[in-house]
Structure 1
């Protein structure tokens, strides 16, 4: 300050002092001399929008427009930080080009926030806080930080940090992105977005159907068929049930076509024919549709060998499907199954089927299985003295003899 005064008074110089007063350690002392030395004091304090326009001039492309919009919303006032964020966004965009554009949009939004926090930590939410933030289930220790940043984060639509977000943060810190790591998360996000779009398309059609007294029905049903066919990968049994019932009640014969289309497209997805979830929510299927769905479900189930059936039954002795299969296995096959297992596997099989002996409410299928299994054990016991010794105390032969008596 003394030197500036000397230049002004003795040398008649005009001196311009440009500084960032927020970084001054002795700001109080500086301000006490400021009034004596400086004739004209101007604070350069452009708005966030002006800063963003300086950092990203012109219209630019979609990525630049997104970064500018996010920077303004967050209140970023550092041109250099915005430049670096834009460079990161431009770097990641081509790597996500093969997915839904919403994946890129989410990535750019996350990068803007996390890069701001990383590059300008004094003016942004702390990184450690962002890693654990949960806008709808905050933790007590973050009460002060939530009070300061929560409203901004909710407005910014950042309510929690996902595994994909952490991958992006690592890239921000390293300065480059790993394509394989991006792919691991982007595929899941892409599927979620496609699912959301399919549900949204169907919801719009339901609105057209139910929220109008003027729209003709045929174009709406035509559109239902078109959307159902194009988005079938992301639709489920609940969608089929609703559409099939609507078409049937409105007398449109294409209801059968939609069921056939669903079954054909989902033939390799056993879960696509699971009716249990529908019943949980009180949704009933027509007898005709239920019959076709059950037939399709049975067709998708992998065929088990007799060996696999018995081993599975030993672990779940009340499974109706396993019971039905095991009750048809002949005695000779049970003999081969028993001889095909040793050690713990044989012990588990014997212990599992032995439980039928103690069931008070054993079903006819259970009795049939136990009878055939016991006959197989008895037949093995007749083969040699050692096998007679081995089978003597298992309990199956005694149960069979008592039953026959």
Structure 2
């Protein structure tokens, strides 16, 4: 992508004809950084007399902008700048520029300029010829400086002053301007801007630009790429915080460094990105805290995608070390002593991670080996499963159980499930495991049955009639409701369906008919559909009028 952008920009800067080039892109993707680091190598030698970079941030009127273009001009290497006839100006400008840049914030502060400022502003633009001009931060210009005036000046510089103008902007922010100003920009855009490129950064390149050379760089880059962070400013903030933490990590295992890098990237990404497409900080903390049993019930499609993206990084629940990072973000305070003490307390994380990796190695060895070593392989698998048990998720359990099931080792299946459930023997509250991150992906029917009947106690707390009422009110069914529908027999369906009247009947019938029309239908939902449709067919078979009524929904019976 950047290679294509570089070629386009080079063509513009090498052209003998003056052009207006727009480089647009999202906030923080590195547009300005890229331009400043690349433009000199893309200019054809001798093409321009001077170069002027001006940020429009806070510029309120056209005269100030014109003077800034004149004042910020510097000679380009390898060019001979023609001295203009006004010797007074040519002697005064270097002195003004030096004073301005080193000592003063505004022109009005310079005593030597005050007397001549009106004249300087009046003639500034007349001295601008054959310049390469970069106007940055278009969307951050002062409100008094209208888009029509800026676009008019750009057109004048190109047409009358033989200048090539590069405009760097974020069109998303322009869309947030007042309607009149925004409309002027889009009105004149097609007439003024000749070439337009969209600047996009890939995570790898953004990390290479923004990260310092430290031991955490490799780890941070990995998670920046997994999350898809392209905003250089965000990555620089991640780099700053990792720089605070790094001195405390000397001598620690790579697993610890990797875990801290992962947490730092995810928390900073959420905390500093003020974007609706990124999960907010409180959502991230809730996800981390609840972890395995984080319920997807009520989440939007976007929120579910956030969870899957974060989970792809292999997140663990928050520990004391992680909360020190949270403290840095919320309060701006880093207590090196407290952080180091927290690190000492979390050494068990390394051991737990290693044990989990050992289990994965045992699973991999089982599948990728052609030795006749069933007894040895299964004994190793069970031992590694037991060692890693405290840090395993439900999908890890399923991977182990599946191996024993394909080898018809039902006693080992029962042992593994019971071992897993036993970890949570002290937990009294009912957990919506079917709606959790890992539970909703569990396909193993044996595991589902054991989870429903034992630890998680998803036994109905309300009746089938309650669920029907909820459906009629068009409320979303949760895991409890699905369990009630699944565990109820066809006779119970028949009894309630026969009593329904009016719009409630229509809503219920459509609910059960459409239940299996999604692509991700569960086994339970298919069974619920079959029971309900069977009950409705029974009712349709009782009399001709019911047959006619239900045929509207595609429910037919053979007579």
For normalisation by structure 2, the TM-score amounts to: 0.34
- Rg (Cα) greater in structure: 1
More relative contact order, 1 or 2 (CA 8 Å, 6+ apart): 2
Q: With the length of structure 1 as denominator, give the TM-score of the two structures.
A: 0.46
